[in-house]
Structure 1
């Protein structure tokens, strides 16, 4: 099991106080991430308790009877470009098999990919010619294929960790790992950073 921390600061807010949130991603054989229900997870960093919407995990008591030899899978954390109404980051967790295009993974999981370009004829539907499916890869670059020629052309003035989801393949069917994605990086209203922390340390 690993734990990571996201610290977020709203760009449009006049307040300079930062928000810090912590949640776990499960990669061992005894726990898995559910993709069908949502459960609030609390986090620290403000004067009052706040919560962030995320996918719940199966408690130990429910997972004791599960098989220990689970198939390979890749865990994803998708960070929305906009904050929740209470000013906290909106993070969606998903788990799926590797060997797929990131665009297909996001659309199948109902993760916002195109934003204002989601209407028909507003994007090229995965052809790599419009550049509207840009994402920022925060963690997990080692699981992705190198930039394609289409990406090199469309993203030549963008940061090196920006990718076109339609051109990005995530690992192979036997891959395991974690990928953290910033959705719609050109439209995000807040800054945040990724920090991997020791689960044994107090939060």
Structure 2
């Protein structure tokens, strides 16, 4: 079982098996890659981004507002570790659009046309689990309340969920295809002293 850890600066670190492979994907023009440096150790992988420390107001003013995402895939990589995709996008967009524009798996087996409603909120095939960052997401819509009444409280429909506002900052951790996930992992926050 792997774990996703976040420190006070909202930097993600992943405690996984000794080896880890990261697939890089192309990003659209309105998305910026999550700039990270990955340091390797025997049993711990850390993705360290360029997010400024909380006391550094001048660095925060230089960076345009953005929301960081950690998308955890529903399947494991061949080496048995969770496949985590780090992305960054501007707030004020639908979660569905961010995932599709970032080449992050959203529909799984329902990806073919006619098997999903293409963002209409009627099929519930864009179901995601919000692990962290629900405060950055819009409130549940009536369609979500109807479709998700028998689901856990942290499940959302990506097509109905707006992520923040254009000036929003923060981190959202999303479990992709929660009903199809083939592994368990836990979410942990780490202290600043552990992140170094």
Same fold by TM-score greater than 0.5: yes
Gaps of 5+ in 1: 9-18, 22-32, 59-65
- Tell me, yes or no, if the aligned pair for 1:80 and 1:91 is still in contact at 8 Å: yes
- Paired with 1:191 and 1:44, the residues of 2 have a C-alpha distance of 21
Change (3 A) 1:150 1:172: same
What TM-score do you get using the length of structure 1 for normalisation? Answer: 0.73
Aligned 8 A contact 2:32 2:89 in 1 = no
- Tell me the residue number matched to 1:105: 98
1:2 to 5, 10, 13: 10
Provide the C-alpha distance between the structure 2 equivalents of 1:149 and 1:140, rounded to a whole number of angstroms: 21
Match of 1:30 in 2: none
Cα deviation 1:37-57 (Å, max 9, x = unaligned) = 997653664xxxx769x7x75
2: distance between equivalents of 1:39 and 1:69? 20
Which residue is 2:171 aligned to?
A: 178
Aligned-pair distance for 1:35?
1.8
Q: 1:200, CA displacement in angstroms?
A: 1.1
Partner of 1:79: 72
Choose which of 66, 70, 75 in structure 1 pairs with 2:63. 70
Would the alpha carbon gap of residues 102 and 7 (structure 1) be closer, same or farther in structure 2, given more than 3 Å must change?
same
Distance 1:100 1:202, change over 3 A: closer
State the partner residue of 1:35. 33
**Rg larger for:** 1
Q: TM-score, normalised by structure 2?
A: 0.75
Tell me: CA distance 1:194–1:43, structure 2 relative to 1, closer, same or farther (3 Å): farther
Aligned residues: 170
Structure number having the greater strand percentage: 1
How many angstroms apart in 2 are the aligned matches of 1:132 and 1:44?
Answer: 38
Question: Is the Cα–Cα contact under 8 Å of residues 34 and 49 in structure 2 kept in the other structure?
Answer: no
